[in-house]
Structure 1
């Protein structure tokens, strides 16, 4: 049974989410102690996590950063806060998707199912070769001659798409569609944040120049020796 950890303090939202997800045979876990969120996530080891931004102790951004160090489970942010400013912060903190309050339970379920399918698909094609480097899409780790780097689930999925389309430009629209199912609240800025984070991590192993920006179109990945 898929386990969903809900980090939310509004009892009405918790009840709504719990009732909807349990109808689809999901196990729903909620926070017991707001000072011990990371410990509870570590103990429960959920398959996916839903995060509010405004919380009783530290805000959602703080907890997302902390939780991302413990688990590679997909994270969806649910918040009534301004989407343009907070979505960038949430994605940068390690979230994979975003939904705005008030939200449709059907849309939330669709996003959960999409992220779980994406992770399952990645696990099915566990290792992807990229020149002399290799991406393990199960652990989200890139192994290179210059060292290893740990990617977030979204960064790993993004790199995996580019590896599968090596030397071909993938448009921003296609990347948004494949990564976030074309979520209407997501735009180029969301993608740019993830590209920037991925490029920064690739720079630590001297591979950042392999990720090329095709201005106004999208992105292209090349083999290291073609730089």
Structure 2
């Protein structure tokens, strides 16, 4: 059973989601104060957050960025906005997955279960050492002599996949398969944005060149000076 925080202002959608989640014995929480969304989420400590984009006060992109300042909780964006123009914004803000309205509850539940399962698998893993770097899947923190980099659940999962295949090329299809259940509802551009975001965070601790792009193939994790 998981605790799911629903950031949505449409009562019909809230009711439908909550009703379906209850069948899987998940608890749901909704927003009480639209001027205090981030604090409510942080206080509630949910296992996953469902975020609409169009909201009564600030939009979902703003609130996701605010949540990410204090929490690495898995986030799925739900929006009627055109996916090609907004999914990149959502992912850049810190979201882990994306689904467009109208959607079926079967697809939404599949995404929720996959993200919860993936997050549990990551947090059940011991620390991973890589050269002079140490990655903690429980906290999604990468540490070395230059400092620490706090990763989101998706960034942490991507790094863990690359770490488990270090010095070997991991295809984009493989990453989509492992991270997003085959990538059926996300495209390659979303993966590229996540890789770019991960690279930016790694560069803050001296690992700017550690992820190599193998053109037409995928990505390979190496030591920074290779």
Unaligned runs of 5+ in 2: none
> Aligned pair 1:189/2:189, yes or no?
yes
Q: More deviation in 101-110 or 48-57?
A: 101-110
SS at match of 1:181: helix
Instruction: Work out whether 1:18 is the aligned partner of 2:24.
Output: no
Post-superposition Cα deviations, 1:147-188, rounded to whole Å, max 9, x if no partner, equal: 111111111111110000001000001101111112333111
Displacement after TM superposition at 1:222 (Å): 1.1
Q: Which residue of 2 aligns with 1:80?
A: 80
Map of 1:173 onto structure 2: 173
User: Which residue of structure 2 lines up, in the alignment, with residue 66 of structure 1?
Assistant: 66
TM-score (norm 2): 0.97
Q: Secondary structure, in 3 states, of the residue corresponding to 2:78?
A: strand
Per-residue Cα deviation, 1:7-26 (whole angstroms, up to 9, x for no partner): 00011100100000011110
Residue aligned with 1:103, SS: coil
Number of residue pairs matched by the alignment:
226
**How high is the TM-score relative to the length of structure 1?**
0.97
2:21 aligns to what SS in structure 1?
A: helix
Match of 2:48 in 1: 48
CA distance in 2, matches of 1:145, 1:43: 33
Corresponding residue number in structure 1 for 2:151: 151
Shift of 1:127: 1.0
Matched position secondary structure for 1:114: helix
Question: What are the ranges of 5 or more consecutive residues in structure 1 without an aligned counterpart?
Answer: none
The 2-side partners of 1:194 and 1:94 are apart by: 9
For the residue of structure 1 that corresponds to 2:86, the secondary structure is helix
CA deviation map 1:60-97 (0-9, x unaligned)? 00000011122211000011100001100000000000
How big is each residue's C-alpha offset from its partner over 1:128-153, in whole Å with a ceiling of 9 and x where there is no partner?
Answer: 11111011011010011221111111
String of CA shifts for 1:87-122, please: whole Å, max 9, x gaps. Answer: 000000000001111111111111111111111111
Distance 1:91 1:126 in 2: 27
Instruction: Give runs of ≥4 in structure 1 deviating > 4 Å.
Output: none
- Give the structure 1 partner of residue 119 of structure 2: 119
- Secondary structure of residue in 1 paired with 2:135: strand
What does residue 6 of structure 2 align with?
6
